[in-house]
Structure 1
Amino acid sequence: MPRRFIDLSIYLENEVASDPPGLEPHIQYFAHDSSYEQIAPFFPGLRKEDLPDGEGWAVELVRLSTHNGTHLDAPYHFHSTMDKALGAQRSAISIDEVPLEWCFQPGVKLDFRHFEDGYVVTAADVDAELARIQHRLKPLEIVMVNTSAGQRYGQRDYVSAGCGMGREATLYLLERGVRLTGTDAWSWDAPFVHTAKKYRETGDASLIWEGHKAGRDIGYCHLEKLHNLESLPAHGFYVSCFPHKIRGASAGWTRAVAIFDDALTAADAAAS
């Protein structure tokens, strides 16, 4: 069977509801017929008509946050320290320090599309889903959660859609050796609009970003704004999600891909 790839990434594009207002990416396009002015200073005396068909290069000017598009969050994004629960608290690693072996591992998909928007997934929910798909977690597996937000990307309610992973659900994964997770929602945690309501009602600040803050106890990374998770089986594939190498940054963009390869899965099975 030939190797097969499934793209798990969204586009970086203009005028699509991918982030809260004011935080969206912006791309300025320069086509072949509009870039002569960029080329001319390099070659004094050059006329536009001297270029083949009068065309220059195509190039884009991009204004981005490291958290636009499909990206990998580093532990540094969550808190200044990590690994407190492991007895060796240390400075949280930035995206350029994330171990590469975390970013290419067997993948596992948990289907949480049935949970309502704003629901906070518990450890019991994760345990039940693993039982349903008959899978026992192994260290370094990449665990991705398929939420109802995945099918609403680009719609106005995308940022407020889907369930989120709570602190205990996140620690359930990390305590079993998982170090990289992912979601097709805007955030690993429940959408802010739902958490804000709970905070107003309870005054409990520990509810804010509770899944992210689990990284204080055990350092980990997660992918956000994944896509196409509904097309994946529960397991039997690899995930590649190497982040862009930005010095000292809290996140890096990635072209996340699911890879189906009989040789890879057979080797993994033999190793376990």
Structure 2
Amino acid sequence: MLRALPSGLFAALLVFVLTGCEAPSPDADLSETSGAAAAAFPDGELVDLSHPFNDESIYWPTATQEFELEEEFVGDTGNYFYASHVFRGAEHGGTHIDAPFHFAESAEAAEEQFTVEEIPIERLVGPAVVIDVSEQATDDRLYQVQVSDFEAWETEHGRIPNGAMVLLNTGSAQFYPDREAYMGTAERGEEALPDLAFPGLHPDAAEWLVANRSVSAVGLDTPSIDYGPSEDFAAHRILFPENIAVFENLTNLNDLPPTGAHLIALPMKIEGAGGAPLRAVAVLP
């Protein structure tokens, strides 16, 4: 777990970035910032929710390009040390975002469907709630998060706030990057698809979120928002026309409380893409 930046500097920097104001210097007296700016974002411990990208990063079995880092030059130039690499990888792999455009050509909720760079930044920064179904998913690796799981969470913690990002903790991150334990199979290609086995979001629960709550995004610690055996990817197709982005292959959800944390989920800003690598960080209350 990463520690908070001193004296609220992280919170102030983020506020100024999001509002377009000039950022304070590291030695600035933050007590002089406006009350609105100082209170706009919490200051607490940081939790990294992203897996590193490397040759063990998990991609969908049919991905034609998994993560690869190629060395261009690493060493002494004669005058100084220099390092440069080229990286490659499909847009959907490792910890990543599914933009609505991934499964929705158009949207009822907007004039144009969001590709990665079109997702408003305010939909990627905000309060997070964590629905813990790790016990159910441990007993059943094909478990699908149910409407009753959301209702039980709300009974204990109150209504899911408008604009929240809903994180589903299935306990699956403990298996990453063991492909067989995490996905159900280590095989690649179309022949691997029938053997996929991991938890996801039931389409009925996705429908419930769309119909009854106003959330910005849904994330979880598995390779897909739809459970492993899904052939129609219904949860994707329910959420995306409403411009609800999805975060997949998250980690460290056990370190987050059910409510009170804030999430910063900023993807590589790839124009026209349906997905991108994601660095997600939670700020604890």
| TM-score, scaled relative to structure 1 | 0.75
> By how many angstroms is 1:68 displaced?
2.0
In the alignment, is residue 15 of structure 1 matched against residue 56 of structure 2?
Answer: yes
AA at the equivalent of 1:99: P
AA at the equivalent of 1:241: A
Out of 98, 101, 109, the residue aligned to residue 119 of structure 2 is 98
Q: What percentage of aligned pairs have identical amino acids?
A: 28
Give aligned pairs, total: 226
- Please state whether the residue corresponding to 2:117 is helix, strand or coil: helix
> By how many angstroms is 1:216 displaced?
5.4
Equivalent residues in 2 for 1:256-271, closer than 5 Å: 256-261=280-285
State how far apart, in whole Å, the 2-side matches of 1:93 and 1:170 are.
19
State how far apart, in whole Å, the 1-side matches of 2:97 and 2:83 are.
28
AA at the equivalent of 1:235: T
Cross-structure match for 1:126: 150
State how far apart, in whole Å, the 2-side matches of 1:168 and 1:251 are.
24
Unaligned runs of 5+ in 2: 5-42, 185-196
State how far apart, in whole Å, the 1-side matches of 2:91 and 2:234 are.
21
Out of 146, 159, 182, the residue aligned to residue 169 of structure 2 is 146
Cross-structure match for 2:133: 112
In the alignment, is residue 179 of structure 1 matched against residue 198 of structure 2?
Answer: no
Unaligned runs of 5+ in 1: 37-47, 197-207, 262-272
| TM-score, scaled relative to structure 2 | 0.72
Cross-structure match for 1:242: 266
AA at the equivalent of 1:24: E
Give 1 or 2 for the bigger CA radius of gyration: 1
Cross-structure match for 1:195: 230
State how far apart, in whole Å, the 2-side matches of 1:216 and 1:138 are.
19
Cross-structure match for 1:26: 68
State how far apart, in whole Å, the 2-side matches of 1:100 and 1:235 are.
21
- Please state whether the residue corresponding to 1:173 is helix, strand or coil: helix
What value does the CA root-mean-square deviation take over the aligned residues? 2.2
Cross-structure match for 1:4: 45
Out of 170, 173, 178, the residue aligned to residue 155 of structure 1 is 178
Equivalent residues in 2 for 1:58-97, closer than 5 Å: 58-83=83-108, 90-97=111-118
- Whether contact under 8 Å (2:107, 2:242) holds in the other structure is yes
